Amino acid sequence: MNHKLMEILYTAHQKLKDARVEESRLEAEILAAHVLKCERHDLYLKDNLVMNIHEENIFFNMLERRCAGEPIQYIIGSKEFMGLLFEVDDRVLIPRCDTEILVETALELLPSDREVFIADIGTGSGAIAVSIAYYMPNAQVFAIDIDEGALCVAKKNANIHGVNDRIQFLKGNMFEPFNIEHKSKFDAILSNPPYIPTNDIDTLSVQVRDHEPQIALDGGKDGLLFYRRMVSEAHTFIREKGFIGFEVGYNQASHVCNMLQNMGVYTCVYCVKDLSGIDRVVVART
Ligand code: GLN
């Protein structure tokens, strides 16, 4: 490893540690590799790798932002989700690996031998819509978001992954952009809505609270506002043998299951756990 680069990494590591960034060494390496447009292991393997003064300025500027609490994904402009790289900025929630459970569940339940129609309500970065379209060439996806900025990011991600011809982006509040033509159309309605109770937002880490969009987090007084609204309408857009898949927050699964069961139109309602054993996805089948 280049001696000067090692010093730079060391300084960055210390600064991040002082700023209480948990994975300080790793994040120093991620930023350095991003600036040098190389892989992280190249930092150690390529002796001739140097950071010129221009790159050094960019690096320390990014480091400053990270130390001030900005999420590293916004700084480097991307986050991996379902094995695909998504562009992200502060107009969208950073895709979480919990949401991969929702996508994997949907991929398992959807038939692959005919055209299928899927709606992603509150698409944000397009993580759900784009990855479903990418892994299911037979899928036609409708991605809805109330926020113009989010739709802009989602469209970019659809282009990057070559699925823009199979995703329709619609602006509006939940099912608002749908009309009579969309009744009983969908094989699946998926959503990872904002689900943090309003009063809990203050208790989140600075990283989330001060940088990720409030509109993507705030689920109303009890965090269940968007589930309530979606559950009351969703069944009219689902076809026979279709399903709803919702990601839910901690302790919310039983409430959302009850809401769905009370509709009396689903044959089966169940939960899927995440890797830490918490009910993370609720499925309701027609
Ligand atoms: N659907 C997007 C995701 O899962 C955005 C979710 C949101 O903004 N609440 O990442």
Residue-wise pLDDT tens digits, 212-249: 999 999 999 999 999 999 999 999 999 999 999 999 99
What span, in angstroms and rounded, lies between the C-alpha atoms of 79 and 76? 9
What is the per-residue pLDDT for 47? Answer: 80
| The pLDDT of residue 48 | 85
pLDDT at 274: 92
Q: Where in the chain is the domain with CATH 3.40.50.150?
A: 79-285
Residues lining ligand 1, Cβ inside 6 A: 93, 95, 99, 122-125, 127-128, 192-194, 216
Q: Say if domain 79-285 classifies as CATH 3.40.50.150.
A: yes
| Amino acid, res. 54 | H
Backbone torsions φ then ψ of 127, nearest 5 degrees: -50, -50
Q: Are 140 and 182 in contact (CB under 8 A)?
A: no
Tell me the mean pLDDT in the region 133-149. Answer: 98
Cα gap 4→21, rounded to integer Å:
23
- pLDDT, tens digit (0-9, with 9 covering 90-100), for 244-279: 999 999 999 999 999 999 999 999 999 999 988 999
Ligand 1, atom 5: closest residue by C-alpha: 124
Q: Where in the chain is the domain with CATH 1.10.8?
A: 3-68
Residue 277 gets which letter from DSSP? S
Options 1.10.1060, 1.10.8, 2.40.50, 2.60.40; CATH for 3-68 is 1.10.8
Helices 253-262/225-234 angle, 10° precision: 30
Ligand 1 center to 140 CA (angstroms) = 19
Q: Are 151 and 175 in contact (CB under 8 A)?
A: no
Query: pLDDT tens-digit profile of 168-183?
Result: 999 999 999 999 999 9
Residue 275: predicted pLDDT: 87
Q: Which atom of ligand 1 is closest in space to residue 122's alpha carbon?
A: 1
The reported pLDDT for the residue numbered 14 is: 97
Percent of the chain with pLDDT over 70: 100
Probe ligand 1: pick from 87, 192, 215, max atoms within 8 Å of CB? Answer: 192
